[in-house]
Structure 1
Amino acid sequence: MNNSKKEQNAIILAAGYGIRMIPINTEIPKGLIHIGDEILIERLIKQLHEADIYKITIVVGYMKESYNYLIDKYDVNLVENDDFMVKNNLHSLNLVRQEINNTYIIPCDIWCRKNPFLLDGQDSWYMISDEINHNTNLKVNEFNELIRSQNIENESSMIGICYINNQIKDKLINRLLEFDNDERYDNCFWEEILFEDDKMIIKPRFIDSTSVYEINTYEELRKIDSKSQSLNNEVLTLISKELNVSTHEIYNVEALKKGMTNRSFMFCCRDKKYIMRIPGEGTEKLINRKNEAQVYNLVNKYGISDKLIYINSVNGYKITEYINNSRNCDANNINEVKACMKTLREFHKLNLKVSYEFDLFGQIEFYEKLRNGNKSIFADYEETKEKVYELKRYIDLQPKDYTLTHIDAIPDNFLFYDDKVKMIDWEYASMQDPHLDIAMFAIYSYYDREQVDKLIDLYFDNNCEKSNRLKIYCYIAVCGLLWSNWCEYKLALGVQFGEYLQIQYNYAKTYYEIVEEEMVKSV
């Protein structure tokens, strides 16, 4: 054994969701992808062993249980990153910062033809490919320093493998701790700590671009190994079947980060674009997929939604045609909001019927139960709930024309294109008072009262009865409480919504007071 290797160790970062690897990552985490007859992370471990490096720590998060077998097989140490959904790998590395001492830091998605851990020399370095990359702002200057600038023409490719010796470990450990405690760096890669004044504090080390591959996407995997067993993916097989194409005709796969409930991605096939929806964590408890399929098949007949290609009434997988040159409604553009209210009113006038309804107060109770006895994060929740429930009496007394209602009629679910407007995402659609949709649009848009009143006037063409306006105020309070409970359930699953949760809860409190004031005035 090389004596210099005895004191070395390795940290493999494998906690991330790997959103760009969708849809492969719906079944396996990125580190367990197959290349040839090997698993990606196992190849890295074997190459470390070949270099007499046996002390290996792997930081896991997404599908963490999938990596447990490595403990017995290779005697590695697994460390869990429970915040992988809201923080990047800078946080992962900080969790194991005390392990940094003559250490290789390695991303789990690297495939190296030659063993990169047999390199001579004990100086710290960061691996750079000799391939030109126009998607970065990095360059090696004449002093063999890696710098970043906005005025670079010939950019360098960062590989991700790094060696940190004991001479600079303390400095980097301190910087890790400092950066990880600063929320500005929550979405940063760990390499941020290597830069001072836009210059990397360690030297670059070049490697031939043909001997190392970073595998971030489905198409990169297919390029390096078109016969990889990881390409035998349920979602890809489904797309292939429904569009009657081979999986090799599926290209330009791109994750769509928008959406509070689902993981969706866009893809191309035979010069057409599509969107594939894969339901997110916990949605099987929130959405009745059989009901959703019924709604989609109904509204699809009227051309008011995006074109449905496929929907599964059990698991919620859905394929729709992508609408080219489309955009979501801008809630601060009065003309676009006016068009949305016109579209919403026309949809309601269709008076479509389904066999089930959306029970507002029943859903609040349902979301509470999903918390499994855990109290709300809001100390005054019970008091707020009691006040909001007082509004039920007024709501029940008001006349209503029950019809199919979108329920989630938020600006993001209105698409503009070619002077037309489509409504999308009908997961919650049910029989309800259509005026509920106005309240939903308002609270998602974070409207103040003046904006709320303007929205109501747009829907009713400036002819809204006072009783209806007051009823919509009630709906705003109830829906605020409803969605704050929804957020609390998702929070328990590790899904964060930032200020959205607090804002929805504030609507519940504020609009109860508004209704109370208006009722006193009318007495």
Structure 2
Amino acid sequence: MALTYDEFKAIEARYETGEATELDLAALEPYRARRAVLLASGFGSRMMPITINTPKPLVDVNGVRIIETLLSALIAIDVEEIYIVTGYRAECFEVLNRDYPMVTLLNNPLYATTNNISSACVAKNHLRNAYVFESDLFLNNPALLKKYRYRSCYMGVPVSETSDWCFEVLDGRIIDLHKGGSNCYHMYGISYWSEEDGEKLEYDLQECFDADDEVKQRFWDDVPCVIRRENYDIAIEECTFDDVLEIDSLAELQEIDARYRI
């Protein structure tokens, strides 16, 4: 029997304090994060020349590859399946298999001519009970990733104004996604999808991609948050700018890691 939200939170609290019983763990099992999809096919042109030979997610920041901050956090919550969708210099990602045998590499042959919706389509069969990430995010706070999730959600930072991608939110639910806004949530490309919503995404992503050439140039998040938003009930999960670093340019990388300063 499905738990109510209040029942879920009560059992989750017992789990986090180490007081969960076997019955509690059995009740939480349908809400366990089982897999993750990391979208890592892009070029990272704003970080040139670093990305000429190294895909942006594999760039070393203070001794750690960007993507490894996500992988380590996923392993810590016992995620069993991890899929990385590659494109640009796909062969470079094979180095991860040595230390992360649970990783499966999926190739996106359309990465150079479409937006990342094509990468989401490549992984569309793996989105149930799943985290989905942009793979160029440096995760400072691994506690953002919880082992159990009651519902689908995106991570976001409340802001009074932004020129970046942001969510409009009403009563804790995402009602729109667009670039620039006020009294909204700065968008991070970290989301979680329930079994039910992952099943819907499998269908909606591919249908939207196949139906319209314009959609092929959009971000995958537009499908659940804009194009087909009536099909989804997506919560916002508040975080802070200290939790995740978005390293979008060489200048930002140099500011964080002095080794890249000339």
Q: Tell me the TM-score normalized by structure 2.
A: 0.79
Which whole-Å CA distance do the structure 1 matches of 2:170 and 2:196 have between them?
25
Partner of 1:496: none
Q: Which amino acid aligns with 1:33?
A: V
Which whole-Å CA distance do the structure 2 matches of 1:81 and 1:179 have between them?
17
Alignment counterpart, residue 177 of structure 1, candidates 172, 195, 206: 206
Matched, 1:167 2:167: no
Aligned CA distance change for structure 1 residues 61 and 142 (closer, same or farther; 3 Å)? closer
1:224 positional shift: 2.6
Aligned CA distance change for structure 1 residues 218 and 70 (closer, same or farther; 3 Å)? same
Aligned CA distance change for structure 1 residues 35 and 203 (closer, same or farther; 3 Å)? same
Partner of 1:125: 153
SS for the counterpart of 1:136 is strand
Q: What's the C-alpha RMSD, in Å, of the aligned pairs?
A: 2.6
Alignment counterpart, residue 104 of structure 1, candidates 111, 120, 131: 131
Partner of 2:238: 206
Which whole-Å CA distance do the structure 2 matches of 1:90 and 1:151 have between them?
21
Partner of 1:136: 164
Which whole-Å CA distance do the structure 2 matches of 1:60 and 1:85 have between them?
11
Matched positions, count: 230
- Aligned pairs for 1:279-290 (under 5 A) are none
Partner of 2:22: none
Structure with greater strand share of residues? 2
Matched, 1:35 2:61: yes
Larger Rg: 1
Matched, 1:17 2:40: no
Aligned CA distance change for structure 1 residues 198 and 68 (closer, same or farther; 3 Å)? closer
Which whole-Å CA distance do the structure 1 matches of 2:177 and 2:149 have between them?
26
1:470-494 CA distance string (max 9 Å, x none): xxxxxxxxxxxxxxxxxxxxxxxxx
Which whole-Å CA distance do the structure 2 matches of 1:9 and 1:103 have between them?
5
Matched, 1:222 2:216: no
SS for the counterpart of 1:68 is helix
Partner of 1:63: 89
Which whole-Å CA distance do the structure 2 matches of 1:66 and 1:15 have between them?
11
Partner of 2:7: none
Larger RCO, structures 1/2 (Cα 8 Å, 6+ apart): 2
1:210 positional shift: 1.2
Partner of 1:190: 220
SS for the counterpart of 2:221 is helix
SS for the counterpart of 1:186 is helix
Aligned CA distance change for structure 1 residues 140 and 99 (closer, same or farther; 3 Å)? same
- Aligned pairs for 1:49-448 (under 5 A) are 49-75=75-101, 76-115=103-142, 116-118=144-146, 120-131=148-159, 134-136=162-164, 138-146=166-174, 147-148=176-177, 152-181=181-210, 182-196=212-226, 201-227=233-259, 231=260, 247=262
Q: Which consecutive unaligned segments of at least 5 residues does structure 2 have?
A: 1-14, 16-24
1:323-349 CA distance string (max 9 Å, x none): xxxxxxxxxxxxxxxxxxxxxxxxxxx
Contact kept in structure 2, 1:14 and 1:61, CA below 8 Å: yes
Which whole-Å CA distance do the structure 2 matches of 1:119 and 1:131 have between them?
27
Contact kept in structure 2, 1:113 and 1:211, CA below 8 Å: yes
Which whole-Å CA distance do the structure 2 matches of 1:109 and 1:38 have between them?
12
Aligned CA distance change for structure 1 residues 174 and 158 (closer, same or farther; 3 Å)? same
1:193 positional shift: 0.8
SS for the counterpart of 1:153 is strand
Contact kept in structure 2, 1:131 and 1:209, CA below 8 Å: no
Q: Which amino acid aligns with 2:173?
A: E
1:220 positional shift: 2.1
1:138 positional shift: 3.3
Contact kept in structure 2, 1:130 and 1:209, CA below 8 Å: no
Which whole-Å CA distance do the structure 2 matches of 1:27 and 1:74 have between them?
22
1:173 positional shift: 1.4
Which whole-Å CA distance do the structure 2 matches of 1:150 and 1:219 have between them?
23
Contact kept in structure 2, 1:17 and 1:84, CA below 8 Å: no
Contact kept in structure 2, 1:111 and 1:213, CA below 8 Å: yes
Partner of 2:3: none
Aligned CA distance change for structure 1 residues 172 and 65 (closer, same or farther; 3 Å)? same
Structure with greater helix share of residues? 1
Aligned CA distance change for structure 1 residues 86 and 51 (closer, same or farther; 3 Å)? same
SS for the counterpart of 2:217 is coil
Which whole-Å CA distance do the structure 1 matches of 2:107 and 2:224 have between them?
24
1:222-260 CA distance string (max 9 Å, x none): 233233xxx2xxxxxxxxxxxxxx73xxxxxxxxxxxxx
Which whole-Å CA distance do the structure 2 matches of 1:82 and 1:160 have between them?
22
Which whole-Å CA distance do the structure 2 matches of 1:206 and 1:195 have between them?
17
Which whole-Å CA distance do the structure 2 matches of 1:150 and 1:39 have between them?
28
